[in-house]
Structure 1
């Protein structure tokens, strides 16, 4: 009577282990690529959300600009224009806007003063709850980083584009924003003033 062995040979085990190892390495590499791709997508999504949020703030603020100058001192003649751009190094863009929520119906204005600054490639929104602030600290909000430039063109009533604005009483009809970003490149938006 002849005995038949019922097992795997050493060679068969080595081949099976090699195949399993190759499959494991391939699966791990695939999983690693998926996780890396997910991280890159998440980072890009965060950058896009910041850009969209910035554009939303700019659009909302610019659409609600009102022709209300700001008193800069205690005298009646000391006023800053309702809207200014490109006049000094104090801020990029400064204006008075309406539309401030007052859900508790408090005895306060629905206006606020807003200024956009570009500081070390960061676009910062400063806001004051009182239009006629004197020595009050603004609420600062960093909207977007990696901003290389922030330029405006302003459409006057005569349909001529201007590089700066100094008219004390009139507002531009529209604002064309050209923002240059390290990641997104050049972005141009047109905002009408209502």
Structure 2
């Protein structure tokens, strides 16, 4: 008699079951990697937005100047106000014009308002979206941290030494940054 070599039906069903289990496990692993990658990407995007916002604030603070009458950096009603100089233009030439800059939180969005002292037009720039809380404090010599006003009562013209910002945005809770004000401030 002639016997034919081959697989039985039971062997084929077992092989298909093993192959299906390996395929399902591979898919689950791949799906997990994609979900993790999406979460890491979203977290990285949030972190980059936060870093850009704080870098913009720090640049303005480092270029703050003392106006003829007053204080370099002031706080009023949760808004940070300052005057800055040395803004660069596209050709990287220094400008001598002063700018008024204000930062404030409006309905979950952190905004930057700026205008040249020579022009009446105010520009509005979105700094960061999804901000749940934003607090400012200034450090004054002999008075400590103050959350409103510019100087100690009875000591007009006292310049703040540092700015503290505390904010909650996106996945980040209670981000605190202390920025030393320039010597001239």
Q: Classify the TM-score, shorter chain.
A: 0.7 to 0.9
Task: Give the corresponding residue for 1:46.
Answer: 45
Q: Give 1:137's aligned residue.
A: 122
Secondary structure class of the residue paired with 1:6:
coil
Moved more, 37-46 or 157-166: 157-166
Counterparts of 1:30 and 1:105, CA distance in 2:
51
- Aligned-partner Cα distance in 1 for 2:13–2:93: 81
| Alignment CA distance shift 1:10-1:106 (3 Å) | closer
Structure 2 residue ranges without an equivalent (≥5): none
User: TM-score, structure 2 length as denominator?
Assistant: 0.83
| Alignment root-mean-square deviation, CA | 2.5
Q: Evaluate the alpha carbon distance shift between residue 176 and residue 6 of structure 1 in structure 2; reply closer, same or farther with a 3 A threshold.
A: same
Runs of 4+ in structure 1 deviating by more than 6 angstroms, as ranges, are: none
For residue 99 of structure 1, give the secondary structure of its aligned residue in structure 2.
coil
Number of aligned residue pairs: give it: 178
C-alpha offsets along residues 42-95 of structure 1, whole Å, 9 cap, x if unaligned?
1111011111111111212112210126xxxxxxxxx88653312x4xx71111
* SS of equivalent residue, structure 1 residue 50: helix
User: Does the Cα contact within 8 Å between 2:131 and 2:168 map onto a contact in 1?
Assistant: yes
What is residue 73 of structure 2 aligned with on the other side?
83
- What is the distance in 2 between the residues matched to 1:133 and 1:40? 45
Task: Find out whether 1:60 has 2:42 as its counterpart.
Answer: no
